[in-house]
Amino acid sequence: MMPSRLLHCLHAALRPPAVRALLAQIAALLPCAALALALDAAGYDLTLLQAVVLQGILAMLITWKIGLAPWWRVIQLLFPPALLVSSAFGLPPLLYLVVFIVLLGWYWSTFRTQVPYFPSSQPVWEAVAAVLPDRPGLRVIDVGSGLGGMTLHLARLRPDIECTGIELAPLPWLYSFLRAKITRSRARFIRGDYENIQFGHYDAVFAYLSPAVMNALYAKAGREMHRGSLLISYEFAIPPYIPDKTIHTTEGTPPLYLWRF
């Protein structure tokens, strides 16, 4: 029993992408050192810059091999050179702490999931408003609501409906919450994980998330959403599920996908 519980705890600890990205950097240290020694034996001495670039390349390859999202590969490649460049400026340690705290608050959900910050635009909000049923009392939720732009727009455009945004990252949630308070908007903002809410309480669910989570999102919607409700995804389709409607908001921009349950 104990080994299985230990394995379960270990699996849970390794689940966040940020943890796996950190382990990829650590795992790249040994082959990087081995390659540096081999090159040294062959008569070629690596400069410090070349060594950190090599470290970044190896970490990027490991990240690709373990299946993290593509943007993590870019982060892994640039992280070691960025540390080298920043250390050359002799910046005070407190500044690094402040930057880390701000980034942690802004990208909190990205550390735990594979969903980065993707802001949508007003043409998307207007397209979503256009496909919503024209009946009072409609309940709409934006999962991963970011700075709250769409939720606030819908609340302003449709005072007859209930508009909610849910956001895991603390700083975007706080910003949207304060925007609603300052502007006296009827929009409501929840800080939390959309996986912990019941989609069946809503008539329409809007998502602008990431390909990494879309299948799980659709499965949750299939289990919980009631007959006649809408799942709307901007940019990301959910194969193999064919949308009931595809809308192009403006020319050259990603489409809006709509599934009716």
| Span 9-24, pLDDT tens digits | 555 555 666 677 888 8
Q: What is the distance between the alpha carbons of residues 147 and 177, in angstroms, rounded to a whole number?
A: 9
- State residue 48's pLDDT score: 86
**Residue 113 has which token pair?**
């999931």
Q: What is the distance between the alpha carbons of residues 102 and 2, in angstroms, rounded to a whole number?
A: 38
Q: Over 60: is that where the pLDDT of 80 sits? A: yes
Q: What is the pLDDT of residues 114-160, one digit of tens each?
A: 555 566 788 899 999 999 999 999 999 999 898 899 999 999 999 99
Confidence of residue 79 (pLDDT cuts 50, 70, 90): confident
